[in-house]
Amino acid sequence: MKKAIVLGATGGVGNPLTAELVSRGIETIAFGRSMSKLEALKQELGNPSLLHLVTGNAFNSEDIIKAAGEADVIFHCANIPYHEMQAKLLPLGEAVMIAAEHLGAKVVIADGIYPYGRRTMDKATEEHPKQPHTRKGKVRLAYEELIFSPRWSRAKPLIVRLPDYYGPSAQASYLNVTMEAIAAGKPTAFIGNMKTPREYVYLPDAARMIVEIAEHDESYGQNWHIPGPRLISGREIVQIAQKASGKRKMVIPMGRLTLSLAGLFNPVMKEVVEMFYLTEEPFVLSGEKYERKIGPLTWTPHELAIAETIRSLMDHGNPKG
């Protein structure tokens, strides 16, 4: 990989992915809607000469083509707000793939576990059946079918699937809403049962492994899983976060009924209810394929990663991106 472009570079996954690429000496184009956010990202990374900033609309394939130039890999991390996923995800994927086809580029898509539906394996491999029973799961499966469509003869895509995640840049995740409030010393809520162990991955760790996958030519045309280090309960997460912040305000678990009521006033909360089953039946990813074909899975322990996230949120006063 000589040159890469990151779509949605200031977002949750795009931010640490841009940092990872630059740290490896790869010339990188950070692409986003807001030049002020892009400039803040570049400053955060120490103003590296390898990093170029370009504004544009990821829904416009011409903007991507113009920005990408000689980039040989497109990292697609542009995020869709939860309540707009059904209307906007496929048009966004179409624009990215048209650009990649025109450029003859490799495409690395960061996605989640929604297309699988309910768990049928203790640890889900990339061969886990895709039987989505939710609207968002079905649109995510249609998205995968678009990415791997035989329409594309020159583009070379792959999809990396992550579990729930957290980190200083992860403003769109359920968990970071809780972490931001703990960092600010405010009462907050935790979505789901706080006693149930679930899988989470720290985004800087995920970014490192995404780039490792992208560096292997044989990775393309496939799905890849990046699991977290171990299952961890909401109660333990909150305890670690509160210890790091030095503040112990109340954290209340939000169940299905509470979320449904909140959804009457907040469109995002309304959409969370549909995916609430994942907090009741945790979906755990297998990293066996990664270890067999790429190398060892290496993580920052949750204790250190959560504390680092809280310290970063406290230092900045608000989430990055």
- Evaluate whether residue 313 is within a structural domain: no
Residue 86 has pLDDT above 90, yes or no: no
Residue 321 has pLDDT above 60, yes or no: no
Residue 281 has pLDDT above 50, yes or no: yes
pLDDT tens track for 131-157:
999 999 999 999 999 999 999 999 999
Closest by CA position to 53, among listed 28, 21, 70:
28
Residue 171 has pLDDT above 80, yes or no: no
Q: What is the pLDDT of residue 176?
A: 85
The Cα–Cα gap between 271 and 61 comes to: 28
pTM for the full model? 0.93
- Evaluate whether residue 48 is within a structural domain: yes
pLDDT tens track for 8-53:
999 999 999 999 999 999 999 999 999 999 999 999 999 999 999 9
66: domain CATH number? 3.40.50.720
- Evaluate whether residue 220 is within a structural domain: yes
Q: What is the pLDDT of residue 265?
A: 66
Q: What is the pLDDT of residue 272?
A: 77
Half-sphere exposure (CA, 13 Å, Cβ side) for 208? 13
- Evaluate whether residue 204 is within a structural domain: yes
C-alpha of 47 from chain center = 24
Q: Which domain holds residue 19?
A: 3-170+200-229+281-299
61-68 vs 85-103: helix crossing angle, rounded to 10: 40
Element (H, E) at 164: strand 164-166
pLDDT tens track for 190-228:
998 999 999 999 999 999 999 999 999 999 999 999 999
The Cα–Cα gap between 230 and 227 comes to: 8
pLDDT over 70 for what percent of the chain? 95
Residue 266 has pLDDT above 80, yes or no: no
Residue 271 has pLDDT above 80, yes or no: no
Whether residue 233 contacts residue 198, with contact meaning beta carbons closer than 8 Å, is answered with yes
Whether residue 285 contacts residue 227, with contact meaning beta carbons closer than 8 Å, is answered with yes
Main-chain dihedrals φ then ψ at residue 120, nearest 5 degrees: -125, 0
The Cα–Cα gap between 119 and 307 comes to: 30
Q: What is the mean pLDDT of residues 161-167?
A: 94
Residue 276 has pLDDT above 90, yes or no: no
- Evaluate whether residue 56 is within a structural domain: yes
Mean residue pLDDT of the chain comes to: 92
Q: What is the pLDDT of residue 268?
A: 66
Look at the chain and count its residues. Answer: 321
Main-chain dihedrals φ then ψ at residue 79, nearest 5 degrees: -100, 150
- Evaluate whether residue 271 is within a structural domain: no
Q: How many domains does the chain have?
A: 1
Q: What is the pLDDT of residue 263?
A: 60
pLDDT tens track for 220-249:
999 999 999 999 999 999 999 999 999 999
- Evaluate whether residue 262 is within a structural domain: no
DSSP-derived pairing of the beta strands 188-191 and 164-166: unpaired
Residue 320 has pLDDT above 90, yes or no: no
Residue 319 banded pLDDT, cuts 50, 70, 90: very low
- Evaluate whether residue 265 is within a structural domain: no
